[in-house]
Structure 1
Amino acid sequence: MAKTKWIISPGTLTIYPKRNLRIVGLIFFVLIAAFIFYLSRSVQGYSAGLTLGYYGCLLLIPLLLIFIAETKVIFDGNSRILYKKIAFLPIGSIPFDDIASVEPYEVLGSGFNYKLFRKSNRHGRGLLVSAGYSKATNTNLIAFQQEVLPKIDELVFAHAPVIPKQTIYDFRFFSEEGGTYLLRDNKIGSFIIGLIMIGATIAILFSPGFLANEGSIQKTLLTYFPAAIGLALLFAATSNIRFDQNQRKIIRSTFAGRFKKEYPFDDLIRFQVIRKTTNFIYSGTEVRAEIFLPAKNKMVTLNLKSFIGTKKIERFLDEANTILGRI
């Protein structure tokens, strides 16, 4: 199957990230054409207009895929504008000065592609600039990395002004007290729901006749499953994360401080921004800290904060990096 296609010239770069849909569309076209032929021979009695309309709608599906396969992203170095088109139809543009980066992006946990991200929405959906790859050894991917990415750097970033990050003093996501920054997180809802779930289990235990007609396995599950969910919610609701500048540690406390885990600032490798989907529908974005544990020689991830949108994530990262002394 075809992968990413591109055309490089001195002042422009044109990328076709969806050319693989051309083959998919052609296959569907042949299959649907064969299906239409079968229907025309075996099904009779409908008017010619209705039949042709139905066949036309069926053929429209593969034709639409073939049309989408001609999606192209054009980096115009002369105007310093990125243009996106589907075949000959323009569908959007982005000034080079609003482009933050071009990075690999995980695809459904089974591979990755490259996406372009804007400064105005650094952690949003991004703009697709490559096909999907399942292996880092793919020859088309290696060629893309060796030819296309350097050309993007040359056109977009080589002459872009360097704007240093500014130290932040007014924190929105942390509350500061004596050099310790507590990560703000509203967990009242989780706390209340957790208590309700535990209360449901207690109510069932004090009403033995409530599940008298259920089998032993079903009765056990229905009785104790709410309590298990409730305890998990209470665990989350009574947890907090602090960035302690005095000790230079990230401290996670659970159950009102009874259990603590501490991670030195120097062991924090990077922040991960994970975009989550449920049944292909966006369900939020998580920011996690990737931390190396030298004593155990392994990496752990610490969930810091969840966002429904993405435009505030960059501000959150700037605040965290300010506390860590990286800005």
Structure 2
Amino acid sequence: MTSPKSLTKTRWVIDANRVVVYPHRISYLLGILVALVFAGIVVAYLTSVHGDTFTTVCFFIFLVAVPLWFLGYGNTYVEFDGSRGTMQRKLFGLIPVKTMYMNDLHGINIVTQNGGYKYKMFSKKDRYGRGVLVSSGYRKNTDANAQAFVDQVVPVIHGYLDKYGSIVGSAPQPITSYKYYNNTGGSYTVKSKKVLVIIFSLIFFAVGIYAWVAHWAEDVSPTQKILVVVICLGLGLIVLQAAFVSIVFDTGSQTIIKRGPLGWGNKSIPFSDFAGFQTIRKSTNMVYTGTEVHMYYRFPNSEKKGTMLLHTFKSSGEIERFLEETKSVMKI
């Protein structure tokens, strides 16, 4: 018997020269839930409302169409055809909406977001862009479906990509000038835009000062007034600290140094403890706001890893250039 939880998991079919993945199966569950809610609405409508025939028909069409859309979207799949060398996404399992040749694809990478993760296929031209979803979302690193997807599906698809063109693409060109670093005698400091952050900190300071001197605050108790001022000034200090935090890659001492004027979160990490990069796409209300570039590092005498935010970008090209420059600085 199929459990509700299994309906949300990625399903795939692997044939001789073809892999089909169904990454949107959670829509089945959403469709069933919406259908149940709408069924209750129908019962309430029939027992308490008596509208004209046209309105009733339109209302019922809407109530039927929405659950069917969810159920149909669950059939959306991505097909990797090894014989033709193409990747094709079919909406509802019927309508081709995206087709790409495999020699234009970079590979499948993990994407972390909102405390979970999923897998997406990225193109060589947009390796850190939106990508094409090829798996459902997961919460646990030990998820059996996620592990099976990585073990069974990803190697086959990457085998197709290797057949039609290198997964990693062409070798990067040597870096002769730096766009995102200031080089001072072998110390490379990550460039940052401070103006906007400083403006935000000044706004907090201004609100705190206004709360202290404004006439409307005369009717507020001294404790409440002081609390508002302290909160505003504290937030202003935190934001101002963030504006002047610097990240320096010191090639002389082979150390990555993060420091701020107030000393909060200062770090010193040897190059030898570097453990990789990770990009995290950020969205607010389903609107893309930027991609963060994080660096992982190992703790001494421990299996645990720490992470440090290096920069935030909007475009895939900026991310690729920044990573190339960082690797050039670290000689990795």
Query: Do the structures match in fold with TM over 0.5?
Result: yes
Map of 1:317 onto structure 2? 323
Return 5+ residue gaps in structure 1 as ranges.
Answer: none
Map of 2:243 onto structure 1? 237
Map of 2:232 onto structure 1? 226
The answer to whether 1:166 aligns with 2:141 is: no
Alpha-carbon distance in 1 for matches of 2:15, 2:268: 53
Q: CA deviation at 1:277?
A: 2.6
Instruction: Tell whether the 8 Å contact from 1:238 to 1:256 is kept in structure 2 after alignment.
Output: no
TM alignment of 1:130-279, pairs within 5 A = 130-161=135-166, 163-202=170-209, 205=212, 207=213, 211-255=217-261, 261-279=267-285
Q: CA deviation at 1:320?
A: 0.4
| 2:171 partner letter | P
Residues 10, 51 of structure 1: alpha-carbon distance in 2 compared, 3 angstrom cutoff? same
Secondary structure of 1:25's match?
A: helix
Alpha-carbon distance in 1 for matches of 2:196, 2:35: 51
TM alignment of 1:21-36, pairs within 5 A = 21-36=27-42
Alpha-carbon distance in 2 for matches of 1:238, 1:137: 39
The answer to whether 1:62 aligns with 2:67 is: yes
Q: CA deviation at 1:57?
A: 1.0
Give deviations 1:178-208, integer Å, cap 9, x for gaps.
Answer: 2221211120232244245335535655x38
Residues 40, 312 of structure 1: alpha-carbon distance in 2 compared, 3 angstrom cutoff? same
Select 1:118's aligned residue among 116, 120, 123: 123
Map of 1:77 onto structure 2? 82
Give deviations 1:284-324, integer Å, cap 9, x for gaps.
Answer: 22112222231787533222111234431111111101111
Greater shift, 250-259 or 312-321, is seen at 250-259
Q: CA deviation at 1:27?
A: 4.2
Residues 296, 202 of structure 1: alpha-carbon distance in 2 compared, 3 angstrom cutoff? farther
| 1:83 partner letter | Q
Map of 1:50 onto structure 2? 55
Greater shift, 312-321 or 122-131, is seen at 122-131
Alpha-carbon distance in 2 for matches of 1:54, 1:259: 57
| 1:146 partner letter | D
Residues 14, 234 of structure 1: alpha-carbon distance in 2 compared, 3 angstrom cutoff? same
Alpha-carbon distance in 1 for matches of 2:172, 2:86: 24
Q: TM-score, normalised by structure 2?
A: 0.87
Secondary structure of 1:146's match?
A: helix
Alpha-carbon distance in 1 for matches of 2:302, 2:12: 45
Residues 137, 184 of structure 1: alpha-carbon distance in 2 compared, 3 angstrom cutoff? closer
Residues 289, 28 of structure 1: alpha-carbon distance in 2 compared, 3 angstrom cutoff? same
Instruction: Tell whether the 8 Å contact from 2:292 to 2:312 is kept in structure 1 after alignment.
Output: yes
Secondary structure of 1:311's match?
A: helix
Cα RMSD of the aligned pairs, angstroms, is 2.7
Alpha-carbon distance in 2 for matches of 1:293, 1:139: 29
Return 5+ residue gaps in structure 2 as ranges.
Answer: none
| 2:146 partner letter | L
Map of 1:93 onto structure 2? 99
Map of 1:108 onto structure 2? 114
Alpha-carbon distance in 1 for matches of 2:124, 2:155: 20
Alpha-carbon distance in 2 for matches of 1:131, 1:262: 38
Instruction: Tell whether the 8 Å contact from 1:98 to 1:118 is kept in structure 2 after alignment.
Output: yes
Give deviations 1:195-238, integer Å, cap 9, x for gaps.
Answer: 45335535655x38662211344212221222112211221222
Q: CA deviation at 1:239?
A: 2.0
Q: CA deviation at 1:175?
A: 2.0
Greater shift, 173-182 or 289-298, is seen at 289-298
The answer to whether 1:306 aligns with 2:312 is: yes
Instruction: Tell whether the 8 Å contact from 2:113 to 2:280 is kept in structure 1 after alignment.
Output: no
